[in-house]
Amino acid sequence: MTLKVFLRDSLLGVKVTLLYSIFRGLDALTRSVLVENEGGEPFYLEKVLSACVDMDDRDFEMLGLFGSWARERHIQRMPLGYGRQNIASVKGESSHQEHPFLALVTPGTSQESGEVYAMNFVYSGNFIAQAEKSQFNSVRMMMGIHPEGFTWKLEPGERFTAPEAVLVYSGQGLGRMTRTFHDLYREHLIRSPYLHEKRPILINNWEATYFDFDEKKLLEIAEDAAALGIEMLVMDDGWFGKRSLDDSSLGDWYVNEEKIKGGLHALVENVKKLGMKFGIWIEPEMISPESELYRRHPDWAIRIPGRDITQSRAQYVLDFSRDEVVDGVYEMIAEVLRSADISYVKWDMNRQLTTLGSCALPPDRQGELSHRYMLGVYRMQERLITDFPHLLLENCSGGGARFDAGMLYYSPQIWCSDDTDAIERLAIQEGTALIYPVSAMGAHVSVCPNHTVGRTTPFETRGDVALLGTFGYELDITKLSEEEKVLVKSQVEKYHKYNDLIREGDYYRLASASENRYYDSWMIVEKDKSRALLFCVQVLAEANAKSRFLRLKGLDPDKRYLAEGKTYAGRTLMHAGLRIPAAFGDFKSRLIEITEASLL
């Protein structure tokens, strides 16, 4: 249900509509703004925020998600002081560094108690989330498109619609806020046919081969993977144009048949004979200076006329504010997708927007470029999933730089981070799951020593951490030991046994290694509270350590549950806890199934 509040400025001829939408059974609403020019002259919008809430200060603390490449969405909490405190991005994406989320919490707020006022932006471009404490101890929360570099010209009769901001209230701590966001996004935002389906367990060749592969190497990986129960092969960067390093061919979206001899169709058919599906990596928004497309259309790159274009990763950014650019790139990629039975696409975006200028926009509309660019990205993704309705689309941006609610509208899962180390992933996945359903988190088991941090962790721990997500593999499976291959089979069995629960259940955070340094723990509980899955990771071992008692959450106090061969009352598990013996060694994990005793 949506409430519309109409406001008018008769002098300027401006009509503003404030939209408030509510959702049955959820302590959440969405807020947006529509601006219309009802006058006879054009005017320029210089700031259009989507949500604003005013309240008295209650010694609020401000909670946000911060990080960097490979360290995305770490939770940070700080006192709310006087003046304006911002979380923002002007990088042309929601970014690795700061996230379009802001929460104000009352003192002492925990997972189970305290009040939370939270905002999350359904948008993937430049944003600002701001909390301002005034001299009179009043507080204003705001969220919307970042005004820096933004102007939008509205001619008479034209309208501008701001993206939605999601507002969530919890009077029962951060855990209740988290589950409200999860339910809202699963029920009202994500619309993929894969939303309530198991995703195929995939293996991606990137960390196995990087650019050094051909069709023989891919088939070797596929053969070993299929034998272990893995269900899809994903061919990552390097399959197109003349791409052998990251310095060429973006924009030349045709198969490199020197690498893939016999063409893509033949490769895909051979993979299908193994009982596997096939997926590819693309980076549609980018163009290499060393590409046929750039030689034909240098004006398609975002640039300021007369100035050098800033290169990053030896690439420029295509001007997706222009329909002809979006359509031209889309047709090349669609032709590839039509040429073979491709089930999955990983859409990447590996650099920020700089030297902002469009060859197609007049001077007084250059301030529209960043937003028009984002609308172009959305338009192309909408077209992709419409023309290929059975395609599983996974978004990515140098890892997790565009893990946001705007992207979830088009893809049911997003690559969480390029850091696949299981211990690093604990904090990354904790911060991500604070807002987003765990079924949306792209998570893989990778090789050790890990390619990002060099850490070696047990294969079992890597699998357990990756289960809290889409689950897959990012390694050269042909080089695994026989013992590791047995563990892959076991992990595949766990995925099929538990994925329905993990995907659809309620998420509860029990402990955070970011806070205590030693151990991490979370639970997934069936909606009807008949079954739960407890994850425990001992990060650092302690000498002469005693067992821990983990107080479980989300169970029915009046039900009886079976855990590790013993029966407990639900209230016992939640108030006294379940004994978890200390493990010998660092980075050890345990996965415990908890089942309603009467169901056995």
Residues 492, 225: Cα–Cα separation, whole Å: 11
Answer whether residue 60 is part of any domain.
yes
- Asked if 21 contacts 66 with a C-beta cutoff of 8 angstroms, the reply is no
Residues 520 and 592 in one domain: yes
> Residue 434: what pLDDT?
98
> Residue 599: what pLDDT?
56
CATH at 557: 2.60.40.1180
Phi, psi of 575 (to 5 degrees): -105, -40
Beta-bridge partners for 104: 62, 117
Identify the residue whose tokens are 């993929």: 192
Extended strands (E) in 404-443? 413-415, 441-442
Residues 148 and 278 in one domain: no
> Residue 338: what pLDDT?
98
Answer whether residue 372 is part of any domain.
no
Could you say which DSSP state residue 581 is in?
P
Residues 170 and 215 in one domain: no
DSSP 260-327: STTHHHHHHHHHHHTT-EEEEEE-TTEE-SSSHHHHH-GGGB---TTSPPPPBTTBEEB-TTSHHHHH
Residues 479 and 575 in one domain: no
Residues 450 and 525 in one domain: no
Answer whether residue 218 is part of any domain.
yes
Judged by phi (left if over 0) then psi (alpha if -120 to 50, else beta), residue 533 lies in beta
Answer whether residue 358 is part of any domain.
no
Q: List, by residue number, the catalytic residues.
A: 348, 418
Residues 81, 79: Cα–Cα separation, whole Å: 6
Q: Using CA atoms in the order 36, 40, 42, 44, what is the torsion angle rounded to 10 degrees? A: -50
Residues 377, 124: Cα–Cα separation, whole Å: 10
Which of 474, 501, 528 finishes a domain?
501
Answer whether residue 316 is part of any domain.
no
Residues 566, 572: Cα–Cα separation, whole Å: 12
Residues 263 and 399 in one domain: yes
Residues 492 and 561 in one domain: no
Which among 139, 77, 72, 137 has a CA at the least distance from the CA of 110?
77
Domain of residue 14, residue span = 2-188
CATH at 272: 3.20.20.70
Which of 440, 469, 501 finishes a domain?
501
Residues 108, 164: Cα–Cα separation, whole Å: 30
> Residue 598: what pLDDT?
74
Answer whether residue 376 is part of any domain.
no
Identify the residue whose tokens are 């993937």: 124
Which run of H or E residues covers position 40?
none
Residues 400 and 451 in one domain: yes
Per-residue pLDDT of the chain (600 residues), as tens digits, is: 999 999 999 999 999 999 999 999 999 999 999 999 999 999 999 999 999 999 999 999 999 999 999 999 999 999 999 999 999 999 999 999 999 999 999 999 999 999 999 999 999 999 999 999 999 999 999 999 999 999 999 999 999 999 999 999 999 999 999 999 999 999 999 999 999 999 999 999 999 999 999 999 999 999 999 999 999 999 999 999 999 999 999 999 999 999 999 999 999 999 999 999 999 999 999 999 999 999 999 999 999 988 999 999 999 999 999 999 999 999 999 999 999 999 999 999 999 999 999 999 999 999 999 999 999 999 999 999 999 999 999 999 999 999 999 999 999 999 999 999 999 999 999 999 999 999 999 999 999 999 999 999 999 999 999 999 999 999 999 999 999 999 999 999 999 999 999 999 999 999 999 999 999 999 999 999 999 999 999 999 999 999 999 999 999 999 999 999 999 999 999 999 999 999 999 999 999 999 999 754
Residues 407 and 556 in one domain: no
CATH at 22: 2.70.98.60
Which of 481, 501, 521 finishes a domain?
501
Phi, psi of 365 (to 5 degrees): -120, 5
Answer whether residue 307 is part of any domain.
no
> Residue 493: what pLDDT?
98
Residues 513 and 489 in one domain: no
Counted domains in the chain: 3
In three-state secondary structure terms, 194 is: coil
Residues 156 and 52 in one domain: yes
Residues 445, 465: Cα–Cα separation, whole Å: 8
Beta-bridge partners for 439: none
Answer whether residue 16 is part of any domain.
yes
Residues 72 and 20 in one domain: yes
pTM of the model as a whole:
0.96
Six token digits for residue 10: 């008769």
